[in-house]
A and B are shown apart, each in its own frame.
Chain A
Amino acid sequence: MIKRMEEMTTSDYEAIGLRSGLEIHQQIDTRKKLFCRCPVLPYSDEYDAQILRHMRPTLSELGEYDGTALMEFKTKKNITYQINKDTICTYEIDDTPPFELNPQALDIALEITMLLNCKLVSEIHIQRKQYLDGSIPAGFQRTTILGVDGWIPFKNRRINIIQLGLEEDACREVSDTGHERVYLTDRLGIPLIETVTAPEMTTPRDVAEVARILSDLVRASGKVRRGIGAARQDVNVSVTGGCRVEIKGVSRIPAIPLLVHNEAFRQVFLLEIKKELSRRGITDSTFSSECFDVTDELSGTVYSPAAAALKKGFELRAVLLRGYVGLLSTVTQPGCTFAGEISDRVRVIACLDTLPNIVNDGEEGYSFSVSEWETVKKKTGAETGDAVVVVWGSVEDLDMATGEIATRAREAIYGVCSETRQSYSDGTNGFERILPGPNRMYPDTDLQPIAITEKMIERIESDLPERPWERMERYITVGVPAESARQMSISYMRFVYDEAVKKCLYSPRILMHFFLSTLNHLKNSGNVSEIPDETLIEVLSAASRRNLPVEAAAYILEKTCGNGNAEIESVITDLTIPDRKDIEDTAVRIMEILDPFDTGLMERFLIGRIKDRFKGMPGGREVLEVVRNTIFTEFADSSSRQIQRR
């Protein structure tokens, strides 16, 4: 049975040998696209025209065809692109050669490459990466590697970065039914960076945490695009005995752990099937399958998916899998069996996408009648140890479909297949295509290599922002609590905070609390419109130099940046700072109307009221001191001891 993720421990994952790595795609914030001068505009599904393309595989530089490319070619898709004249020129539809690589994009990408501690290449070579699914009208993506062998810190160790690449973004799929696939081109050609980590994460949670660190890092550069679809993760997963499977296009980091967990177990179950096949003596050379036309035999069926197909003039085929009895019902993911893996291939490659598209004789639930199965088994010569899969579709697609059924069944002999799989929102995944290999790469003969000169490196290095983990470390060293330090290290306020630390007399720790808490309260109170950074620094500096508690700064900001638009100096002059006696008197007066039994509530209430009375002016620390030491000691009961312990 599948163990739930919540029940799994680190050593459970260690036992199955989980290894996972990430490929993070992040659009960078440039005015124009990577290889043409089209502006980068917000996504829009409006379009002015449509064009049609077909894709054929091309040879790699080493003279090989890529397996994925051949698979996609089998699908014989009509690929339609919806194009908008404001964002798409003749380059993106591959009717014009590329223009020179966008220098702004190169600068940003180099900066991030350096932030990841990567070794820079001396010369970038633009490559073409074949995509026969049509997600790029040319049939290939222009891509290049800027750096290799980098690292980021993670839990007292390093996660290695294999490479960082710069490439053009692809299309968004609108629909894919039968042999028709439609793409929207609104993000096509936008520059993006691809960061590839080594497969060094060993629990699903670690994968998400590393994704978060990398996301924080690129955002810290301030030069990446935000918003839906601007960052997408591919997650690579393998277990001992399995192989690398890529789960594509995960847009939310919190979705990662469950996807990794389910994929790890899918591989574990496929390995069980492999073991069982081996036990049954089924090998690549003894594997046997046969295909039969069973249209006539099943012409009178009431099993509705098949009956509906027959009505459309489709035909039915039975594929006999010798020795496979029972295996198709093996669960591979929550709610999915090995038969589902076969069905996926039939759907994607043979384009039979009305589900269910197959049914097998071992399937529980709705299916052909017992006597219909008997007829089919008789026709195919199936014996007790065999399995039979029935598939329906147009005559043209059925050859492909029956071929894929046998192919997928045979692949089970090897356990896990290298595949690219799509992620579903319930944390499971489905087949998308065979995992492409190095043979889909070949050089782009349209563009010259570009040297990364010392001059470029120096220029970018001199402007390199502090890495979030370095910044966090710096904050911790000056006494800021770790969680606040982490938060500030990736906050957009970090530069203002640093400035405030320099210019005021408050401690970094007090200022940190002010920035992360007080300031947010003030901003959310609706009492201030906008606080310019310079005003913030000026107010904090003035308040600190007059020895005012940091809370005074909030009050001054409210007066100067709120409706009143008061002058900083006049607000400060008008301030009355209460002395200890005033605070004590006020506290006592308030105490008189309080229920003395709930001391926690009392304490909070008191602090709030006292601060209100003095326009927030006494520091929180001072009021707490007064409340605890002076007031509560007068109620010398057990609850006060409790308070003092706290």
Chain B
Amino acid sequence: MKIHNGYNVGLDVGTIESIAELGRNEAHYKIPEKEFPYDPSKPNVRLFGTGGTIASRLDYRTGAVIPAFSPGELYGSVPELADICNLKTEKLYGVFSENMGPEQWKGTAEAIGRAIADGVDGIVIGHGTDTMHHTAAVLSFMVQDTPVPVVMVGSQRSSDRPSSDAAINLMNATYAAAESDIAEVMVCMFGPTSDQYGLLHRGTRVRKMHSSYRSTFRTIGDIPLAMVEKGHITPLKTDYRKRRTDRHVKINTAFDSSVSIVYYYPDMKPDIIESLIDNGYKGIIIAGTGLGHVNKPLYPVLKKACDQGVHVYMTVQTLWGYVQMFVYDTGRDIMDLGVIPASNMLPEVAYMKLCWALGQSHDREEVKKIMLTPIAGEITEREPHNGYLILQGGIPEVEEFIRSHKR
């Protein structure tokens, strides 16, 4: 029961003696809508919605999520967007990010192609954060040579809280889409936990690294593409693809989902791999230990898989670093079984790429060529020393840095 001061309390129904209606106050749970202004001098941005918590509200009656999504609603809740661009929105899906799948990925890639053909200056994709990096990876393969920025964005702390990161993320992403010179598939989310700047991460190198922190997205094995604040973009890398005025984009939505990721653990039994073969899986991405290893009892079944035409690739569960299977004999043995090292592709990225490759061919050599030819930065030639930086709390110099570097 909601009481006069806005609090809710729970009453045991057995204790209610009578109910009387004293008046009515109807709730209209709706984000105030205002017409999104049009300014011919501003860039045109298309916002695709897939679901997730960015600019959404809970419907307390049904528990469902009401996305704030029409331009009017977005303008009502984040009026600053009108200073950045002319916004058109298109709702593609309304799903939590864990429910995104091949159908949604293909549909999104095709929608991007249509928007580019329409002449937009940039694209923003609202997405739940849990699998945002999976979608970013697959879109990086499905959408090639985009002439405009494609920026994925979400909200880590739901937009039903005053301190939410949603509005700032949305502003940063929209600004990056409208103004940035980087024509790639990117993720735009909080840099630090503070409301300071967002980071633009390359779609194939980004990963969600904390279950709830605002600054959960990190570029792994490299540095982010750029920092973004309202009205300002600071590039951190120079080797990105530049914005173009043409409308040539290749959309390739090939996808075969008969692939699995096997997260190796010590004492893993062969039956795990056996069951994948039996169930008709065509590709396996192993997240191996260290430089890319699994235990000896798995060798026969891995050989069987490769012999039967399953495409098996090795990545590392350390996330940072390259697969290097020559260092130890065991690595060479595993390669002899037919397992192919996938360089420094992140396991989830390798998974997406193998699905995409198998959608195009099942020929072992052809698939291998697609897998090992970098398309969107998923494999890099080198890892800069600052591509692996996890400050260790507690160490005096780190504490000193945090204390002195305000916010």
Identify the interface centre among B5, B12, B27, B213: most chain A CB within 10 Å of its CB. Answer: B5
Q: Mark A120-162, 1 if CB is under 8 A from B, else 0.
A: 0111110111111000011110011100100000000000000
Known contacts A124-B10, A443-B8; A51/B162 CB under 8 A? no
A57 and B12 alpha carbons, distance in the complex (Å): 33
Assess whether B6 is in contact with A127, with CB atoms less than 8 Å apart. Answer: yes
B111 within 8 Å of A (CB atoms): no
| B60→A128 contact, CB < 8 A | no
Q: B residues within 8 A CB of A138?
A: 161-163
In residues 185-215 of chain B, which contact A (Cβ within 8 Å)? 192-196, 210-214
Give the one of A69, A138, A439 with max B CB within 10 A. A138
Partner of A50, one of B7, B25, B399, B406: B406
Instruction: Please pick, from B9, B157, B193, the residue contacting A123 in the complex, using a CB distance under 8 A.
Output: B9
Known contacts A51-B407, A56-B164, A94-B163: A121-B212 contact under CB 8 Å? no
Name the residue on B nearest A121 (C-beta): B9
State whether A127 touches B162 (Cβ < 8 A). Answer: no
Closest to A139 in B: B162
CB distance from A96 to the nearest CB of B (A): 5
B194→A69 contact, CB < 8 A? no
In the complex, which of the residues A48, A51, A440 contacts B194, with contact meaning CB atoms closer than 8 Å?
A51
Q: Which residues in A have their C-beta under 8 angstroms from that of B407?
A: 50-52, 80
Q: Is A441 an interface residue (CB 8 A)?
A: yes
| B9 lies within 8 A of A145 (CB) | yes
What residue in chain A is nearest B2 (Cβ atoms)? A61
B269 in the interface (beta carbon within 8 A): no
Residue of B nearest to A445 (CB): B58
* A412 contacts the other chain (CB 8 A): no
Using known A-B contacts A61-B60, A95-B193, determine if residue A441 contacts B5 with beta carbons closer than 8 Å.
yes
Q: Check if A451 sits within 8 Å of B10, measured CB to CB.
A: yes
A224 within 8 A of B: no
* A-contact bits for B345-374, CB 8 A (1 contact / 0 none): 000000000000000000000000000000
- Given the complex, which residues of B lie within 8 Å of A69, measured CB to CB? 162
Q: With the chains together, A449 CA to B407 CA distance in Å?
A: 35
Complexed CA–CA distance, A50 and B7 (Å): 33
Assembled-state Cα–Cα distance A441/B211 (Å): 26
CA–CA, A494 and B380, complex, Å: 76
Report if B160 contacts A (CB, 8 A). Answer: yes
Q: How far is the CA of A601 from the CA of B7 in the complex (A)?
A: 65
CB-defined contacts of B2 to chain A, threshold 8 Å: 61
CA A128 to CA B60, docked complex, whole Å: 13
Q: Is B31 an interface residue (CB 8 A)?
A: yes
Q: Looking across the interface, which residue of chain A has its beta carbon closest to that of B192?
A: A51
A313 interface residue (CB < 8 Å to B): no
Q: Are B28 and A49 in contact (CB under 8 A)?
A: no
Return the chain A residue nearest B156 by Cβ.
A95
Query: Which B residue's beta carbon lies closest to that of A52?
Result: B194
Task: Report the Cα distance A163→B8, complex, angstroms.
Answer: 12
Please provide the chain B residues from 1 to 29 with a CB less than 8 Å away from any CB of chain A in the complex.
Answer: 2-12, 15, 25, 27-29
Residues of B near A80 (CB, < 8 A) are 406-407
Cα distance, A127 to B27, chains bound together (Å): 18
Contacts of B10 in A (CB 8 A): 121-125, 449, 451
Check: A370 CB closer than 8 A to any chain B CB.
no
Q: Which B137-193 residues sit within 8 Å CB-CB of chain A?
A: 157-164, 167-168, 192-193
* A128-B161, A442-B60, A445-B58 known; A145-B29 Cβ under 8 A: no
B375 within 8 Å of A (CB atoms): no
Q: Taking A94-B161, A95-B212, A138-B163 as contacts, is the C-beta distance between A60 and B194 under 8 angstroms? A: no
Contact (Cβ within 8 A) B6 A439: yes
Query: Which residues from A are CB-within-8-Å of B117?
Result: none
Indicate if the CB atoms of A61 and B29 lie closer than 8 Å.
yes
Cβ A53 vs Cβ B195 within 8 A: yes
By beta carbon, the residue of chain B nearest A449 is B10
- Contact partners of B162 in chain A: CB under 8 A: 55-58, 69, 130-132, 138-140
Report the separation of the CA atoms of residues A96 and B213 in the bound assembly, to the nearest whole angstrom. 6
Q: Nearest chain-A residue to B162 (Cβ)? A: A139
Give A123 to B12 CA distance when docked, in angstroms: 8
Name A437's closest neighbour in chain B (CB-CB): B6
Cross-interface CB contact of B27 among A52, A62, A143, A445, cutoff 8 Å: A62
Known: A138-B161, A148-B3. 7 other contacts (CB 8 A): A52-B195, A58-B161, A60-B6, A63-B30, A95-B213, A137-B163, A445-B158
Q: Closest 9 interchain pairs by CB?
A: A123-B10, A139-B162, A441-B6, A438-B6, A122-B12, A63-B29, A52-B194, A139-B163, A62-B27
Q: Can you give 23 contacting A-B residue pairs, CB < 8 Å?
A: A48-B399, A48-B403, A51-B407, A52-B195, A53-B163, A54-B163, A58-B159, A58-B162, A63-B30, A90-B212, A94-B157, A95-B157, A95-B210, A122-B10, A123-B12, A129-B6, A139-B164, A140-B161, A163-B5, A437-B6, A438-B4, A442-B6, A443-B60
List residues of A whose CB falls within 8 A of some B CB: 48-63, 65, 69, 80, 85, 90, 93-97, 121-125, 127-132, 137-140, 143-145, 148, 163, 165, 437-443, 445, 449, 451
